Amino acid sequence: MEFSKLEKDLLAAVADLHTLPQGAINIRKDGQAVLRRSSPNIEVIGKADRPGIDIIVKPGTTNEAVHVPVILTNSGFKDLVYNTFVIGEGADVLVVAGCGIHNQGTGVSRHDGVHEIIVKKGARMRYVEKHYGEGGPDGKRILNPSTVITVEEGAYAEMEMVQIKGVDDTRRTTTAYVYDQGNLKIIEKLLTHGNQEAESEIEINLVGTDSTAQVISRSVAQDGSRQEFKAALIGKERCNGHVECDAIIMGNAQIRSVPELVAESAEAILTHEAAIGKIAGEQLIKLMSLGLTEKEAVDTILSGFLR
Amino acid sequence: MLELRNVSLNLDGTNGAGKEILRNVNLKLERGKLYAITGPNGGGKTSLAKVIMGIYTPSEGQVLLDGEDITCLGITERAHRGIAYGFQQPPRFKGLLVEEIMKIARPNLDTVQLRGYLRDVGLCPEDYLDRDLGPGLSGGEIKRIEVAQLLARNAPVTILDEPEAGVDLWTIQKLISIITKRYKGNSQGIAIVITHNEQFLPVCDEIILLAEGSVQERGTPEQIWPLIRDDIVCKMKGQCGGSVYGVQ
Ligand SMILES: Nc1ncnc2c1ncn2[C@@H]1O[C@H](COP(=O)(O)OP(=O)(O)OP(=O)(O)O)[C@@H](O)[C@H]1O
Ligand SMILES: [Mg+2]
């Protein structure tokens, strides 16, 4: 399979794919799988009834990664895909997802990804999803991922979701169920600018005894962009959950942060921390006193914050 | 030479009324010397440093560096002219690493030097290089990292604002020896240390006593130290009704 320069750049931006990796992979371009390969331990199978794939990781598989990036290059293309991930018992794997849209035209390019992830007993999964958009000022780039994740007994899942510039509109929903001694960590990093809008709604159900969850959201809203962040922790048993959202607001941007804690057990410990503020003047002054210009100081602060 | 001519500074007070922070300050500071600025809390020491760094613009008067009027220059430009200021209370940065800020302070710093400067302020490089400058660091740690940046910058005009705060006695001793070695008799450099430290004050070439926004006294440590001591004794006698502990 030969990729053009444009396609390669998109793949590098969303999945750090500079060369094609070993192992299981599925690359979807404008609604078609252009490359699909299973590995001995990770099966990648097309769904029979609707667009999308099943990724089945055999129990006990360790030190393997599966890459499932999506790219859109046709202006105005609307893509809808259903993906199912099953991480077998005791496995320990990395899943690299992500979507890159290049829209040079005037149409609305849109990708709606519906994901179901099941992390089986005692398994560990790290899931990384980057969103990236580029192209002319007339086209729109929209990404709406929705994910339902189940973290079974004693399993661990870490989801890192990153969107830095380029995507005009995102509505993300993430729903999670965490069972006995399961542990879920969600890290969101977001930067919006121009007139972009981003919404993220997370609901974590701590259904098992001694289940734990942690949500860390770091976001920057610049210019006239708008962000809304909703995080609900629902503790049904003895559990521990913490949400931490930190936002930097600039220009005429707007940020709404809506926390919700629901305890249905007296043994549930749920906490929430939220802060929205502009870059502190002292921080800028400090970096400028080291010789940076004001703009360099802002960039340094933001890139550290979104690291 | 760094010169302040008739510098006054007014800042908005809490109720919006202008507050006089510095009043008609005249100072000529020569290269090759190490200066101490001391004086009571709220006397205007930090404000004076911020006027030199360009963080505060004086309401009246001028700041001159080697004869050039730099009063209108911004912070970045003054940094490029070789002025450096180590904050009394350094701000924190979530996500920015110690190694990164050190390299901002001195872009071409190599790893050996970088580790050396951290050791100079009593920090073990292995433990700190990839630490985040966020709320996870203690006050003393953030302060030492601030001083390490200034050591790394090695700027011709270096102002340290109470470097002893949160730093243990051994480290202070080391810091004093680094600063004196570097700046005393160095025809390129001027060091200004805002300090109350009894070890730092005697080794400086000159002590400037700043109170109520103006220079009260200026002279060698031999001239100034007795005045400060007498003043402390007076104040304590006044406050504690005559009993003074620990000061003869
Ligand atoms: N930005 C500001 N706005 C209003 N007042 C200020 C500002 N900065 C300083 N001041 C006031 O100016 C006075 C001098 O403050 P400054 O920080 O310069 O004192 P200092 O001598 O450094 O004191 P310390 O020994 O406590 O560090 C104080 O009364 C302080 O409240
Ligand atoms: Mg001060």
Domains of chain B, residue spans: 2-236
Tell me which chain B residues have a C-beta less than 8 angstroms from the C-beta of A287: 104
Q: Is the minimum CB–CB distance between A307 and chain B shorter than 8 Å?
A: yes
Amino acid sitting at position B51: V
Residue B236 has pLDDT above 70, yes or no: no
ipTM above 0.90, yes or no: yes
Answer yes or no: is the C-beta of B181 below 6 A from any ligand 1 atom.
Answer: no
In the three-class reduction of DSSP (H, G, I as helix; E, B as strand; rest coil), residue A78 is classed as strand
pLDDT value of residue B73: 97
Decide if domain B2-236 falls under CATH 3.30.565.10. Answer: no
Tell me which chain B residues have a C-beta less than 8 angstroms from the C-beta of A289: 53, 55, 75, 79, 84-85
pLDDT value of residue B247: 47
Q: What is the pLDDT of residues A27-63, one digit of tens each?
A: 999 999 999 999 999 999 999 999 999 999 999 999 9
Q: Is the dihedral of CA B149, B154, B157, B158 positive or negative?
A: positive
Specify the range with the lowest mean pLDDT, choosing from A135-139, A169-173, A187-191, B226-230: B226-230
Domain residue limits at A56? 1-138
pTM, two decimals, is: 0.87
Amino acid sitting at position A197: E
CA–CA distances in Å: residue B219 to residues A243, B127, B140, B182 = 57, 42, 31, 21
As a whole number of angstroms, the distance between CA B48 and CA A305 comes to 32
Most confident listed range (A4-8, A31-35, B166-170, B235-239): A31-35
In a domain, residue A222? The reply is: no
Backbone angles phi, psi at B93, to 5 degrees: -130, 115
In a domain, residue A259? The reply is: no
In a domain, residue A98? The reply is: yes
As a whole number of angstroms, the distance between CA A240 and CA A173 comes to 22
**b/e string for B153-187 if b means 16 or more Cβ within 10 A?**
bebbbbbbbbbbeebeeebbebbbeebbebbeeee
Provide long-range contacts, Cβ within 8 A and 24+ apart, for B132-138.
B132/B93, B132/B94, B132/B95, B132/B96, B132/B97, B133/B92, B133/B93, B133/B94, B133/B96, B133/B97, B133/B98, B133/B101, B134/B92, B134/B93, B134/B94, B134/B95, B134/B96, B135/B92, B135/B94, B137/B92, B138/B166
Region of B102 (left: φ > 0; alpha: ψ -120 to 50; beta: rest) is alpha
Q: Is the minimum CB–CB distance between B91 and chain A shorter than 8 Å?
A: yes
In the three-class reduction of DSSP (H, G, I as helix; E, B as strand; rest coil), residue B223 is classed as helix
Domains identified in chain A, total number: 1
In a domain, residue A257? The reply is: no
Query: Which of the two residues, B188 and A94, has the higher pLDDT score?
Result: A94
β partners of residue A217: A188, A245
Answer yes or no: is the C-beta of B44 below 6 A from any ligand 1 atom.
Answer: yes
Q: What is the pLDDT of residues A268-294, one digit of tens each?
A: 999 999 999 999 999 999 999 999 999
In the three-class reduction of DSSP (H, G, I as helix; E, B as strand; rest coil), residue A105 is classed as coil
Q: How many residues does chain B have?
A: 248
Specify the range with the lowest mean pLDDT, choosing from A134-138, A234-238, B36-40, B165-169: B165-169
pLDDT value of residue B230: 73
**b/e string for B1-39 if b means 16 or more Cβ within 10 A?**
ebbbbebbbbeeeeeeeeebbbbebebebebebbbbbbb
